[in-house]
Amino acid sequence: MDPLPHKDLKDRTKQFALAVINLYKSLPKTVEAQVMGKQLLRAGTSVGANTRAAFRGRSKREYIAKLGIVIEEADECGFWLELLAESGAIPPASTQALHKESNELVSIFTSLVTR
């Protein structure tokens, strides 16, 4: 595979993880917000880590398995973002950009798996 798209995706998922970290830092200190935030933090940082691991995969099978994890974690981010917004923990507008990016990442990585 072409290494340039890999670099772009590695950078993009790292930026996504940093945005998740920044959102987590801004969350209210309520128990509910912190629990949902920690789940989002784990999933959001996992997207970038597993993207890197996928592109270092030793086989096609390992590559696809890691991309499957990336898809699951990016989709999970969408769930936690929805819960944070819909529960009233944070204003829905504060999750829109990250939610859009999580959906785009799911689409991108799904297309890589189905190639």
Q: Is the pLDDT of residue 2 over 90?
A: no
Q: Is the pLDDT of residue 115 over 80?
A: no
**Mean per-residue pLDDT over the chain, rounded:** 94
Mean pLDDT of 2-24: 88
Q: Per residue in 32-88, pLDDT tens? A: 999 999 999 999 999 999 999 999 989 999 999 999 999 999 999 999 999 999 999
Q: What is the CATH number of domain 3-113?
A: 1.20.1440.60
Q: In whole angstroms, give the CA distance from residue 21 to residue 3.
A: 27
Residue with the larger pLDDT of the pair 2 and 81: 81
| Res 47: pLDDT | 98
Neighbouring residues of 16: CB distance < 8 A, sequence distance ≥ 6: 44, 47, 48, 98, 101, 102, 105
pLDDT band (50, 70, 90) for residue 4 = low
| Res 6: pLDDT | 79
Q: What is the pTM of this model?
A: 0.92
Q: In whole angstroms, give the CA distance from residue 34 to residue 64.
A: 32
